[in-house]
């Protein structure tokens, strides 16, 4: 078949009915890709990342419409719901599962050793045990990386460049995420090199955020936010609290700067989603997931929020503005 079409079906929700899915499978023999969405955000078909996912599929002939089904399963940001949603998803036996983040990937790996998994937005999957090697992952999971400890160091350097008077930096990170520990160590090392003192602020649950900021008040003058699903969900509250405490804050992706953080620097999410779509197509075409190399980021995005800079009384150096991929005014 030279041209195959892809039908997007947003049929998710925290309690996506397994009986409905079984009924669909009984009458529909098209291959099925399921996306496990771990965030609270409502998914919209027009979002750039979803368009990128479809573009990745279309690159090899899949076009929205006919020969395969795309479905959504959401935990609505509830980590306690993850085991239930994953168990139901696995029972439905989709052809491919795509997800994002370390914890959903691990939940899927515990639940199945046969269903192919493509995970986006993870860090070093070898060091955290998700895959055996970057070139030949082994098992039933491969990844599109967007987090690297080196990026954490770059964010510290960016913070110092944006706010030269910063001397004490707090980092919000989630110890439940194995890769966050790598980010914290990289942040510590970068801070030491720049003559800064780094302070750890652990956030495992929503309720930990307020105490983390309370402990930082008057103790630090800058903030780094780790790349983590929970912290992504909390980005609006983090940006708001940082501004209230007049803390210049740098996050891991553009959504943080868009939420009101001073800046963000990280891999281009749109490109990552596009590559995930390419890999899903390859798997449906017969490729073995164990032999699909882990993809490394090739494009990085710097976003500066000038409105927040003005509120903090900061003047962004022209050299930084020239490097910025997006400026929020």
In the chain the domains, ranked by start, together with CATH numbers, are 4-146+268-291 (3.40.50.2300), 149-267+300-328 (3.40.50.2300)
In the chain, where does DSSP find H-type helix? Answer: 18-27, 48-58, 82-91, 102-111, 149-162, 178-193, 209-216, 229-233, 235-244, 254-258, 269-284, 306-311, 318-323
Among the listed residues 315, 218, 211, 220, the one whose alpha carbon sits nearest the alpha carbon of residue 262: 315
The CA radius of gyration of the chain, in Å to the nearest whole number, is 20
- CA 81 – CA 71 distance, rounded (Å): 18
Place of tokens 């989709």: 94
- pLDDT above 60: residue 277: yes
Lowest mean pLDDT across 6-15, 122-131, 138-147, 284-293? 6-15
Lowest mean pLDDT across 43-52, 66-75, 143-152, 292-301? 43-52
- Long-range own/partner contacts, residues 307-314 (CB < 8 A, 24 or more apart): 307/260, 308/239, 308/243, 308/257, 308/260, 308/261, 308/262, 309/162, 309/262, 311/243, 312/163, 312/243, 312/246, 312/248, 312/262, 314/162, 314/163, 314/248, 314/262
Strands annotated E in the chain: 4-8, 32-37, 62-64, 68-74, 96-100, 117-122, 141-145, 168-173, 197-202, 222-225, 249-251, 263-267, 300-305, 326-328
Whole-prediction pTM: 0.82
174 CB-contact burial (10 Å; exposed 0-12 / middle 13-18 / buried 19+): buried
Q: What is the pLDDT of residue 89?
A: 94
C-alpha torsion 127→203→149→324, nearest 10? 150
- pLDDT (tens digit, 9 = 90+) per residue, 174-213? 998 888 988 999 999 999 999 999 999 999 999 999 999 9
Task: Enter the tokens of residue 184.
Answer: 């914290």
Instruction: Determine the angle formed by the axes of helices 235-244 and 209-216, rounding to 10 degrees.
Output: 20
- pLDDT (tens digit, 9 = 90+) per residue, 220-229? 999 999 999 8
Q: What is the mean pLDDT of the chain?
A: 86
Q: What is the pLDDT of residue 66?
A: 66
**3-state SS assignment for residue 81:** helix
Residue 289 is classified by DSSP as G
- pLDDT above 70: residue 26: no
Mean pLDDT across 81-106: 92
163 close to 127: Cβ distance less than 8 angstroms: no
163 close to 248: Cβ distance less than 8 angstroms: yes
Among the listed residues 45, 35, 207, the one whose alpha carbon sits nearest the alpha carbon of residue 121: 35
Task: Enter the tokens of residue 44.
Answer: 């919209």
């Amino acid at each position: 078949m030279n041209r195959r079409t892809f039908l997007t079906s947003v049929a998710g929700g925290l309690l996506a009915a397994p009986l409905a899915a079984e009924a669909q499978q009984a009458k529909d023999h098209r291959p099925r890709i399921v996306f496990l969405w771990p965030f609270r955000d409502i998914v919209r078909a027009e979002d750039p990342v979803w368009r990128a996912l479809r573009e990745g599929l279309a690159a090899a002939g899949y076009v929205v419409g006919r020969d395969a089904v795309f479905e959504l399963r959401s935990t609505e940001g509830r980590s306690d719901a993850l085991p239930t949603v994953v168990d139901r998803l696995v029972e439905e036996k989709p052809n491919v599962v795509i997800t994002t983040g370390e914890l959903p990937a691990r939940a899927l790996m515990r639940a199945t050793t046969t269903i192919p998994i493509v995970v986006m937005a993870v860090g070093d999957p070898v060091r955290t045990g998700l895959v055996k090697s970057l070139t030949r992952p082994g098992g039933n999971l491969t990844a599109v990386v967007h987090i690297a400890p080196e990026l954490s160091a770059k964010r510290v350097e960016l913070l110092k460049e944006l706010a030269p008077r910063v001397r004490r930096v707090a980092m919000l990170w989630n110890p439940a995420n194995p890769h966050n520990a790598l980010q914290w160590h990289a942040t510590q090392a970068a801070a030491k090199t720049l003559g800064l003192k780094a302070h750890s602020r652990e956030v495992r649950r929503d309720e930990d955020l307020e105490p983390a900021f309370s402990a930082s008040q008057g103790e630090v003058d800058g903030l780094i936010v780790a790349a983590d699903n929970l912290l992504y969900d909390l980005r609006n509250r983090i940006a708001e609290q940082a501004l209230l405490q007049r803390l210049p804050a740098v996050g891991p992706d553009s959504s943080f700067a868009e939420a009101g953080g001073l800046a963000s620097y990280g891999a281009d999410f749109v490109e990552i989603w596009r590559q995930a779509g390419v890999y899903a197509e390859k798997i449906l075409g017969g490729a073995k997931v164990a032999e699909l190399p882990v993809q490394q980021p090739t494009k990085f995005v710097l976003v500066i929020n000038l409105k927040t800079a003005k509120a903090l009384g900061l003047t962004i150096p022209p050299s930084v503005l020239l490097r910025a991929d997006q400026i929020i005014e």
